[in-house]
Each structure stands twice: as C-alpha cells, then as structure tokens.
Structure 1
C-alpha cells in the first residue's frame, strides 16, 4: 500500500512539473522580456495552452502544499486563463472589450480548476487575496493590459515564486511608464489606489515602496495616480 502511495505521489509530481513546464515554455517563447505577448503566434500553439488548462481542470490544490506552492499554482492558473480568454476573442484591442451575457472578462465563469468553475475575479480576490497576505500577488497576476505589471515570460513554481515576484515588483515600481517616482513627488499606478490596503498592512504605502524603489522617497511625498492604460499588452 505504501509503495502504491509513493508511486501515486511521484506520478502526480512528474505530471505537475511537466504541465508547468508546458506553460513555462509557452511564456518563454511568446512573451518578451518587457512582458509583451505575441498573441498571433501564441494562437497557433493554443493546443499546448489547452493541455495546461486540462491539467488545471483535473488538479485540486492539496492541503499539504506549502503556501508558496499554492500561490504559484493559482497565479499560473489566473494568467493561463487570462491568455485563453484573450485568444478566444483575438484579435482584440483591449480586455475591456470582452463581454459575455453582460459580464466582463473578470466575471465570466470559465476557468475550470479542480473540477470547479471560477471567474478570474474569484481566483484573485476570493482565493489569492483572501488567503495569502502577499501584496506581490498584484505583480504575479496579469490583466493583459499596458499599465498592468508586466507578464513574466516564465511560469511560477514553489521554488521560484518569491525570487520572481521580488524581481517583478522591483521592475514595476521602478518602471517610469507605470510609476513616476522622485523623492518628494509620486505619480503611481492606480493599482496602489485600488488595493492600497494590501500594501499598507505593515506600514504606509511609502514604506512599502521604499523597500523596492531605486529612489529614496520622503515619507511626506505628494501622491497622485496615473491614468490606467487598458490597451492590450500585445507585441
């Protein structure tokens, strides 16, 4: 019996690793170093993305998984299904153009994970944000838009999640197209307005930004927010 359980565990591990490698390969091939997606080319390999989505539909996160492994799984799922809904409607200029029965892209129930159907909003707000006290989730998940933190050209794993999200949040905060930072004046992404509570659980917003900002920000710096660019993050 013990040998059967070990064999099952090994088989599940290899399948999980293999499927994550499929997503990793697709992202590496079709996403630039700046996070721009070649949707036209990705569309030609949609069957590979579907293989990964089939794996998600058959896989339920286990209670014995570490928090980091769970986050990597759910962030990958969010991003894979975001790519899928774009491909389902491609060519398209903005994710905002996607509507189905009066619902926008984030509220369409189509993401099948572990035999259950979710919306993108449910994954982000009712799973990732609800159960994990991790503001870096906001640079992990990607909204397929110009002002969104760039989509990484890799899949997340238990081993790389912390390192990769650290890299992405540094890039995001110090990217002058997404955040304009000086010592006494901040023009920030609206992500910091919409989800301010996620970034201020352990101090002020400026305290959080100073962990990653290349420019030291004064605590009394003036804060305003930039217009959000919802144009497709296409190549």
Structure 2
C-alpha cells in the first residue's frame, strides 16, 4: 500500500512540475515579473516611478532600420547587432518590480518583446516565417535578471494581465499581418500617445476592412477576442469603433481575415 501511495505521490509531483513548465512556457504565469494593471485612462509620465529606463539605443536602431510601413531591414540590424545586443544586455541587468510605474513596465516589456523578436530573426537569417523557428514563443529567450522569459510569457503572462489591450498593436511578431513595428522605442513619457497611434493606424489600415454594414477584422481580434470587450459587452464592434474612421453598426457581422505569417522584411 505504501509503495502504491509513494508511486502516485511521485506521479503527482512530476505532473505538477511539468504543468508549471508548460504554463510558464505558454505564458500563462508571469514568472515572477510584476503585472500592474493600467488604471484607465492611461497617462504618459516619468514622474511616478523609482526607475526611468533609457531606451534611446533601441530608438536609434528602429529609426535606422524600420521604414514608414513598419517593415524591417534585418540585414541592417545584422550590421548593428552589437548595438542591439548591448541594448538587450542593458534590459537584462534591470530588475522590474512594483516600484516601477505601470508606464515604465509597459514600455520595458513592449520594447523587450520587440527587440528579442528582432534578435531571434537575426539568429535565423534564412527563415521565411517566424513559425519556421523551433519554439519561437515558448522557449526562454529574453534575459531579465537571473530569469529567461519566453516571448509568450512576456505577452500572455505579463502584458495581457496589465489591462491594456492596445499592447496587441504595439508588440510585433515579425510577420506581415502583425501590426507594423513602430519606428521608435516606447517610453513612459509618451506611452499613451504611442499606444493610441499604433492602435489607430492598425485598425484603419488594410489589415482591417470596416464599413457601416460589416467588419472584416485582423485575426488578432480572433486570437484575443475577450481582451477587446468593453464594459462587459461581448462584442468587438464597440472597441473597433473607438478607433476606426468608419463606424460599423453595433449589430454588423464580424469576420476575420487570414493571417499572413510571412516575414516582415523590407
């Protein structure tokens, strides 16, 4: 009897460890990172944080190697890889915690996600899609202190828990159907305006087709539908209408466009 109980105890421990590993890799848990919720409306400020992170190096690289359409010159990034790695090392040496403002946390994790994604493509220079890479979103790639976070962990375990759906239009998965990569680094001092810009430009671009009678939306709205519900209203239309130049009827049918995972390369 004791041997049977011992066997099931070991089995339970093994299952628990494996489950935690899966949850961590998939981004369900935050891996010890702070996840402050945004109090709406979000304001841009650097005055309420114990730390003000300098993202100027990444900002310079984005201005140099991203064009007006948000497409990336990966060959140019390769030539400046030492600078990109220097920026990632700078972020790795920091220790985000609850003394940081929500603005600083948003900017830090958005930039970390985007910089690590670019670095991942540079590690795999011949890929035609990020999906051709083994475990692009589940393997630990982003160094933060003594941890290695996965891209899925940053997105799902941290950013999505911060009550700010505009993050979906700020992080870039190196694909054609992704929201264009902003040609500047996100900063606490401009975060609200930057998120508004990214969201407005994406919703009004050709990745969505919105008329009064129908809304053909990017599959991003399908992947993360509940993130865009407003005030308990289980519909995407109110959120889309907040930013769309053309307003769809509240009862307009919603469909989703096919997602192009091709590389967002210039």
Query: TM exceeds 0.5?
Result: yes
Of residues 94, 97, 104 in structure 1, which corresponds to 2:132?
Answer: 97
CA distance, structure 1, for counterparts of residue 175 and residue 60 of structure 2: 21
Superposition deviation, residue 128 in structure 1:
0.8
5+ long unaligned stretches in structure 1: 1-11
Q: Does 1:196 align with 2:225?
A: yes
Q: Does 1:41 align with 2:76?
A: yes
- State how 1:198-217 maps to structure 2 within 5 Å: 198-202=227-231, 203=233, 204-217=235-248
- State how 1:1-235 maps to structure 2 within 5 Å: 13=52, 16-17=53-54, 20-99=55-134, 104-130=135-161, 132-176=162-206, 178-202=207-231, 203=233, 204-235=235-266
1:23-71, Cα deviation, whole Å (9 max, x unpaired) = 0000010001110000011111000000011111111113222111111
CA contact (8 A) 2:210 2:247 kept: no
Select the structure that is richer in helix: 1
Superposition deviation, residue 189 in structure 1:
0.6
CA distance, structure 1, for counterparts of residue 106 and residue 246 of structure 2: 29
Structure label with greater radius of gyration: 2
For the aligned residue pairs, the C-alpha RMSD in angstroms reads: 1.1
5+ long unaligned stretches in structure 2: 1-50
CA contact (8 A) 2:107 2:191 kept: yes
1:129-186, Cα deviation, whole Å (9 max, x unpaired) = 12x100001011111100011110110000111101101111110112x101111111
Classify the secondary structure of the residue corresponding to 1:218: coil
Q: Number of aligned residue pairs: give it.
A: 214
Normalised by the length of structure 2, the TM-score is 0.78
CA distance, structure 2, for counterparts of residue 110 and residue 79 of structure 1: 12
Q: Which residue of 1 aligns with 2:44?
A: none
CA distance, structure 2, for counterparts of residue 33 and residue 161 of structure 1: 20
More displaced stretch, 146-155 vs 202-211: 202-211
Superposition deviation, residue 115 in structure 1:
2.2
CA distance, structure 2, for counterparts of residue 92 and residue 98 of structure 1: 7
CA distance, structure 2, for counterparts of residue 27 and residue 91 of structure 1: 21
